[in-house]
Chains A and B, each alone.
Chain A
Amino acid sequence: MSNIIEIKHLNKSFGEVLAVQDLSFCVKEGELFAFLGVNGAGKSTTINIMCGQLGKDSGTVFIDGNDLDRNVDQLKRGLGVVFQNSVLDGALTVYDNLQSRAALYGITGTAFKKRLGELATLLDFEDLLKRAVGKLSGGQRRRIDIARALLHRPKILILDEPTTGLDPQTRKTIWDVIADLRREEGMTVFLTTHYMEEAAEADYVVILESGKIAAEGTPLELKNRYTGDYITLYGVTEEQVRALGAAYEPMRDAYRLAVADTAAATKLILENPQLFTDYEITKGKMDDVFLAVTGRGLTQ
């Protein structure tokens, strides 16, 4: 897979604040890329620079072969953005909103109606077209936000915390749609999220802290690097667990032991086969990775 986004040595400061510092990363075509960080880490600044909304101090940004400094209009045509907060016109109907946004890309008349029909079917909002956006529920509005981002068939969909505040059912619906888009159209998805279970589904993860990359890799690599494994052990007493010498926490009907990695887990099991008759081994979660990397908490 070739790189569809290439960012090299990107810097941006606001007065004394260094929002982005020598940031370099690549996103491969068709992948789900998660861009994580606490508030103020530099995620939105980076996205705003990528979209041509904010000037950079130095560095280069190439998106789908287009240089941000030379070909910003063509670069924008390749991007669809779902903002953290809906920025559609609440007083206007879904149809009017999408019509005005499509016109920004030169999509009008029959071409607009055809694309609207496709999106309405894909995102299931045919019955919402005549309703004011301001009167839609959070989930309905999110679907319209996604439709707006997809109007011009972008190659890259940037999702800035797309599911924040949505109920689990709506979150699932939205992720199903995104999965369909990736599968059927090979769309690259650039995601920022606070839900680590969403980041765990990514092909590649970059964690930002204070404008710099604090960690990057696939979810598996990050879990292996920043978290240990856990053994959930059933049918034993606390004395038996304590004797194993590993950190643990009691659960309702089991004990959860923390070990350095899968090899350490295997060693512990082989040394104590009489205790390990009913157990399961799990890897750490992306939450643990994030907390370990950002220093906001460590796995006990």
Chain B
Amino acid sequence: MKTVLILIKRNIKLFFKDKGMFFTSLITPAILLVLYATFLGNVYRDSFTAGLPAQIKLSEELIEGLVGGQLISSILAVSCITVAFCSNFLMVQDKANGTIKDLRIAPVRSSALSVSYYIATLISTFLICAVSMGICLLYVYSVGWYMSAADVLYLALDVLLLVFFGTALSSVINFFLSTQGQISAVGSIISAGYGFICGAYMPISSFGEGLQKAISFLPGTYGTSLVRNHSMRGVLAAMEEEGVPAEVADGLRDLLDCNLYFFDHGVEIPVMYAILGGATALLLILYILLNAFKKRA
């Protein structure tokens, strides 16, 4: 047990001391911030207000609260995955630079090494995402706060679940990698691609029907939707209180991916949790099987 704890400490320290890995993990959230600051924020502001009946005038704070909720939900949904990947690249780096030979030369169980990578990634990713969540909440507080304590708690649960999901997904994918080139390739694909396929850069509702259906098979999509629901539930409810018709508010929920559909069937929030939790469990089992199979091979 002490061996695993010390290895976890080593892995976490290495991730935070390797500035390249650490800052790479923050690229995607940075891209999102730039996109929102330059044009996406205005696009969403305009689309929200354009969809409202002419007689309804919403306060600036409400609009900014909605745009802010959209921004932070995108950042958090995507960060949990990209940070997990970057943190978990340590297991690939150890193979690429030969350190794994030094670790395996000792009579340590290979399961101890695998567990140490997994838990270290969980902790590193959660630490960064928890800090990100704190900063995001401060930002929303500054532009327009409509979240309840329950929303914040649910949001924390969503982030935690997404961290578990990202760690399990990255463990399975990184298991097959062994060179720096592969790290760069997968890192770039995840940084650039995950934001799109989980609906963080652009709402899934804005994609074509075929693509929407394809994306609905990906569990990460439901993670993004959970974060969106809990980031924007309060502000959407406040809109309804200010006179926005329920059907308009529901249209906004569709537009913002708070409502997700699997082949025209609405997916309820508990089902989203089940999908994300189930996918995480399946990936974890796959990771364990991969390690067990490799050991026998």
Which residues of A approach B to under 8 Å, CB–CB? 51-53, 72-74, 76-77, 79, 81, 83, 85, 87-89, 91-92, 96, 99-101, 103-106, 108-109, 148, 152
Which one, B102-110, B124-132, B231-239, B286-294, is touching chain A? B102-110
In the bound complex, do residue A83 and residue B106 qualify as a contact, i.e. CB atoms below 8 Å apart?
Answer: no
Is B6's beta carbon under 8 Å from chain A?
Answer: yes
In the bound complex, do residue B107 and residue A103 qualify as a contact, i.e. CB atoms below 8 Å apart?
Answer: no
Name 17 extra pairs, CB < 8 A, besides A85-B98, A87-B97, A87-B99.
A73-B107, A77-B107, A87-B98, A87-B101, A88-B99, A89-B10, A91-B14, A92-B13, A100-B7, A101-B103, A103-B2, A103-B6, A103-B7, A105-B108, A106-B2, A108-B2, A108-B6
In the bound complex, do residue B17 and residue A91 qualify as a contact, i.e. CB atoms below 8 Å apart?
Answer: yes
Q: With a CB–CB cut-off of 8 A, which chain B residues contact A105?
A: 106-108
Is B46's beta carbon under 8 Å from chain A?
Answer: no
Residue of chain A at shortest CB distance from B10 = A100
Q: With a CB–CB cut-off of 8 A, which chain A residues contact B2?
A: 103, 106, 108-109
Distance from A203 Cβ to chain B, minimum over Cβ atoms (Å): 25
The residue in A89, A101, A105, A109 that gathers the most chain B C-beta atoms within 10 A of its C-beta is A89
Known A76-B107, A89-B10, A106-B3; contact A101-B102, beta-carbon cutoff 8 A: yes
Is B18's beta carbon under 8 Å from chain A?
Answer: yes
Distance in angstroms between the alpha carbons of A53 and B107 in the assembled complex: 11
Q: With a CB–CB cut-off of 8 A, which chain A residues contact B104?
A: 52-53
Known A51-B105, A92-B10; contact A104-B3, beta-carbon cutoff 8 A: yes
Q: With a CB–CB cut-off of 8 A, which chain A residues contact B10?
A: 89, 92, 96, 99-100
Distance from A110 Cβ to chain B, minimum over Cβ atoms (Å): 12
Ranked 7 nearest A-B pairs via Cβ = A104-B106, A103-B6, A73-B107, A100-B10, A91-B17, A87-B102, A76-B107
Q: With a CB–CB cut-off of 8 A, which chain B residues contact A52?
A: 104-105
Which of A85, A92, A103, A109 touches B14 (beta carbons < 8 Å)? A92
Q: With a CB–CB cut-off of 8 A, which chain B residues contact A148?
A: 102
Distance from A144 Cβ to chain B, minimum over Cβ atoms (Å): 12
Distance from B104 Cβ to chain A, minimum over Cβ atoms (Å): 6
Distance in angstroms between the alpha carbons of A79 and B107 in the assembled complex: 10
Residue of chain A at shortest CB distance from B15 = A91
Distance from A79 Cβ to chain B, minimum over Cβ atoms (Å): 7
Interface string of B176-190 (1 = CB under 8 A from A): 000000000000000
Distance in angstroms between the alpha carbons of A140 and B7 in the assembled complex: 24
Distance from A237 Cβ to chain B, minimum over Cβ atoms (Å): 58
Q: With a CB–CB cut-off of 8 A, which chain A residues contact B13?
A: 91-92, 96
Which residues of B approach A to under 8 Å, CB–CB? 2-3, 6-7, 9-10, 13-14, 17-18, 97-99, 101-108
Distance from B38 Cβ to chain A, minimum over Cβ atoms (Å): 35
Which of B9, B17, B18, B103 touches A104 (beta carbons < 8 Å)? B103
Which of A53, A74, A96 touches B105 (beta carbons < 8 Å)? A53
Q: With a CB–CB cut-off of 8 A, which chain A residues contact B17?
A: 91-92
9 A-B contact pairs sorted by A residue (CB < 8 Å): A53-B105, A73-B107, A83-B102, A96-B10, A96-B13, A104-B7, A104-B103, A104-B107, A108-B2
Known A91-B17, A91-B18, A92-B14; contact A104-B99, beta-carbon cutoff 8 A: no
Known A92-B14, A96-B10; contact A103-B105, beta-carbon cutoff 8 A: no
The residue in A72, A87, A100, A109 that gathers the most chain B C-beta atoms within 10 A of its C-beta is A100
Distance in angstroms between the alpha carbons of A91 and B99 in the assembled complex: 13
Q: With a CB–CB cut-off of 8 A, which chain A residues contact B7?
A: 100, 103-104
Q: With a CB–CB cut-off of 8 A, which chain B residues contact A108?
A: 2-3, 6
Residue of chain A at shortest CB distance from B90 = A89
Distance from B167 Cβ to chain A, minimum over Cβ atoms (Å): 21
Residue of chain A at shortest CB distance from B6 = A103
Distance in angstroms between the alpha carbons of A103 and B2 in the assembled complex: 7
In the bound complex, do residue A88 and residue B14 qualify as a contact, i.e. CB atoms below 8 Å apart?
Answer: no
Distance in angstroms between the alpha carbons of A209 and B85 in the assembled complex: 44
Distance in angstroms between the alpha carbons of A96 and B14 in the assembled complex: 10
Known A89-B10, A96-B13, A108-B3; contact A76-B102, beta-carbon cutoff 8 A: no
Q: With a CB–CB cut-off of 8 A, which chain A residues contact B97?
A: 87
Residue of chain A at shortest CB distance from B19 = A91
Distance in angstroms between the alpha carbons of A103 and B113 in the assembled complex: 12
Distance in angstroms between the alpha carbons of A66 and B14 in the assembled complex: 35
In the bound complex, do residue B108 and residue A104 qualify as a contact, i.e. CB atoms below 8 Å apart?
Answer: yes
Distance in angstroms between the alpha carbons of A76 and B109 in the assembled complex: 12
Distance from B70 Cβ to chain A, minimum over Cβ atoms (Å): 37
Q: With a CB–CB cut-off of 8 A, which chain A residues contact B3?
A: 103-104, 106, 108
Q: With a CB–CB cut-off of 8 A, which chain B residues contact A79?
A: 105
